[in-house]
């Protein structure tokens, strides 16, 4: 099948209000801000050219900001039928969900309903073992808690074959945390940073305890409804459906004869919940990230937490070892600081699930942002190189 690329510039945005109205109507027509560079359409198209291939079956990219907008797709939306990729379709966003969770908790902090220096033991008694060192809410959000990982949850061997057989399996947040607590802590709280999804399962439970509402209700009432994110949701753990996907997710599974076959894994349990279970679209994620970085969701004190990366050693965070910050922490409350080259600082988050590899990144002032989603045929997901090509095209980064 020949590569299919669709890319077009959309009108730029002079103000966030105009953008929200335009996007709600499915268009964006405001003029680019004076002096702002327009997205490099040729470079962006080239960054996702050549799909489908053996590693990636599709890509969708959306670039926004002061200089205008660009949207493009490549590959096939379904290898079985050859249907086009849907630029505004849904995908499983994986760990990008953590930004939503962190934002809700920071809003609760702004309302004085949660103290970021308060402890898990204070808000969720009996969640951590008796005598466990105090773990603060802030340490959950920036991954400096040292909590154990959920190693031992199921018998996943990391293979595509295992996932195909278990795609509908799910665990409750309580089961995830309880399994983790049977393992040793990684380090003393506040002494290092290790990216760990268990932190955000605990954060989700904390949101529910403090508010008396479900995590899904709080995310919907605080973020999805006010921003008009009509295609973003927190599905129940047993809801495996993905209506109107950008593309079907497929994994390369070994056949009995030793060859491989693509198996559709679009339907899978979103059990990762507050840690990684949300479903969204490129336009919705771009609108959310823009609103967040422009300070429309948090007061200044809590907004500062988005960029407060602790000065601590990096403990096995491979994403923190990209660029000149090797060996040091790179995560703040919900976001990741990415410094691809000296003098360039981007903020955002990656998120992956079997079949889906996604990212949202922006300049700190929100003047340029990018959302991308690949469907990858390996459980290892899209390569760093594939993701970096999109970022480089979006932010005019060096590629040599």
Q: Under DSSP, is residue 79 helix (H, G, I), strand (E, B) or coil?
A: coil
Gap between the Cα atoms of 74 and 86, Å rounded: 10
Gap between the Cα atoms of 60 and 44, Å rounded: 11
Percent of residues, the chain, with pLDDT higher than 70? 90
Taking only the tens place, the pLDDT of each residue in 238-287 is 999 999 999 999 999 998 888 899 999 999 999 999 999 999 999 999 99
- Orientation of helix 282-293 relative to helix 16-24, angle to 10°: 160
pLDDT band at residue 13 under the 50/70/90 scheme: very low
Gap between the Cα atoms of 192 and 198, Å rounded: 16
Gap between the Cα atoms of 222 and 227, Å rounded: 9
Least confident of 5-19, 170-184, 220-234, 366-380: 5-19
Domain 5-15+26-310+345-376+385-395 fold: Beta-lactamase (3.40.710)
More confident residue, 317 or 142: 142
By the 10 Å C-beta count (0-12 exposed, 13-18 middle, 19+ buried), 69 is classed as buried
Question: Phi then psi for 181, rounded to 5 degrees?
Answer: -70, -10
Mean of per-residue pLDDT scores for the chain: 90
pLDDT band at residue 2 under the 50/70/90 scheme: very low
Gap between the Cα atoms of 280 and 317, Å rounded: 26
How much is the pLDDT for 17? 29
Cα torsion 355, 389, 67, 324: sign: positive
More confident residue, 292 or 34: 292
Taking the CB of residue 20, how many other CB atoms lie within 10 A of it? 18
Domain boundary assignment for the chain: 5-15+26-310+345-376+385-395
Q: What is the torsion angle, in degrees rounded to the nearest 10, for the CA atoms of residue 157, residue 159, residue 165 and residue 167?
A: 90
The answer for 366, left when phi > 0, alpha when psi is -120 to 50, beta otherwise, is left
Gap between the Cα atoms of 295 and 291, Å rounded: 6
Q: Is the peptide bond before 52 cis (omega within 30 degrees of 0)?
A: yes
Residue 21 has pLDDT above 80, yes or no: no
Gap between the Cα atoms of 125 and 66, Å rounded: 46
pLDDT band at residue 12 under the 50/70/90 scheme: very low
How much is the pLDDT for 323? 61
Taking only the tens place, the pLDDT of each residue in 162-208 is 999 999 999 999 999 999 999 999 999 999 999 999 999 999 999 99
pLDDT band at residue 34 under the 50/70/90 scheme: low
Average pLDDT of the segment spanning 315-324: 74
Residue 26 has pLDDT above 50, yes or no: no
Average pLDDT of the segment spanning 15-36: 37
334: tokens are 């919900």
Residue 24 has pLDDT above 80, yes or no: no
Least confident of 123-132, 149-158, 293-302: 149-158
Least confident of 90-94, 220-224, 312-316, 376-380: 312-316
Residue 351 has pLDDT above 90, yes or no: yes
How much is the pLDDT for 376? 98
Question: Phi then psi for 372, rounded to 5 degrees?
Answer: -140, 155
Question: Phi then psi for 357, rounded to 5 degrees?
Answer: -130, 120
Residue 28 has pLDDT above 50, yes or no: no
Residues 6+ apart with CB under 8 A from 267: 167, 168, 240, 241, 242
How much is the pLDDT for 181? 95
192: tokens are 């290092």
Question: Phi then psi for 327, rounded to 5 degrees?
Answer: 90, -10
Average pLDDT of the segment spanning 356-366: 97
Residue 324 has pLDDT above 90, yes or no: no
How much is the pLDDT for 29? 29
Gap between the Cα atoms of 314 and 321, Å rounded: 8
Residue 9 has pLDDT above 70, yes or no: no
How much is the pLDDT for 250? 98
More confident residue, 325 or 102: 102
How much is the pLDDT for 137? 98
């Amino acid at each position: 099948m020949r590569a299919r690329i669709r890319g077009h510039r959309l009108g730029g945005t002079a103000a966030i209000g105009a953008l929200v109205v335009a996007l709600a109507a499915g268009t964006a027509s405001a003029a680019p801000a004076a002096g702002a560079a327009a997205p490099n359409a040729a470079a962006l198209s080239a960054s996702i050219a050549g799909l489908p291939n053996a590693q990636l079956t599709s890509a969708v990219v959306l670039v926004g900001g002061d200089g205008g907008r660009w949207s493009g797709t490549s590959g096939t939306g379904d290898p079985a039928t050859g249907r086009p990729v849907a630029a505004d379709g849904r995908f499983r966003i994986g760990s990008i969900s953590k930004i939503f969770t962190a934002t809700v908790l920071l809003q609760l902090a702004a309302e004085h309903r949660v103290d970021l220096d308060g402890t898990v033991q204070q808000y969720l008694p009996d969640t951590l073992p008796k005598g466990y060192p105090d773990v603060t809410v802030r340490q959950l959000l920036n991954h400096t808690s040292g909590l154990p990982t959920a190693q031992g949850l199921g018998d996943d061997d990391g293979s595509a074959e295992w996932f195909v057989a278990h795609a509908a399996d799910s665990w409750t947040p309580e089961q995830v945390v309880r399994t983790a607590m049977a393992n040793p802590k990684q380090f003393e709280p506040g002494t290092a940073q290790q990216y760990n999804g268990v932190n955000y399962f605990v954060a989700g439970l904390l949101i529910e305890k403090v508010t008396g509402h479900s995590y899904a209700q709080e995310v919907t009432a605080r973020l999805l409804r006010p921003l008009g994110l009509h295609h973003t949701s927190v599905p129940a753990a047993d809801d495996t459906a993905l209506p109107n996907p950008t593309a079907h997710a497929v994994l390369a599974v070994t056949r009995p004869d030793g060859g491989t076959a693509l198996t559709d894994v679009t339907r899978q349990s979103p059990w990762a919940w507050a840690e990684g279970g949300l479903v969204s679209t490129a336009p919705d994620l771009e609108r959310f990230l823009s609103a967040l970085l422009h300070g429309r969701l948090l007061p200044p004190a809590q907004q500062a937490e988005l960029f407060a990366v602790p000065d601590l050693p990096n403990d096995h965070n491979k994403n923190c070892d990209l660029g000149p910050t090797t060996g040091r922490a790179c995560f703040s409350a919900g976001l990741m600081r990415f410094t691809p080259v000296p003098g360039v600082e981007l903020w955002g988050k990656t998120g992956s699930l079997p079949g889906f590899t996604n990212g949202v990144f922006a300049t700190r002032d929100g003047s340029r942002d990018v959302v991308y989603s690949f469907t990858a045929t390996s459980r290892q997901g899209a390569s760093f190189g594939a993701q970096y090509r999109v970022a480089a095209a979006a932010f005019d980064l060096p590629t040599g």
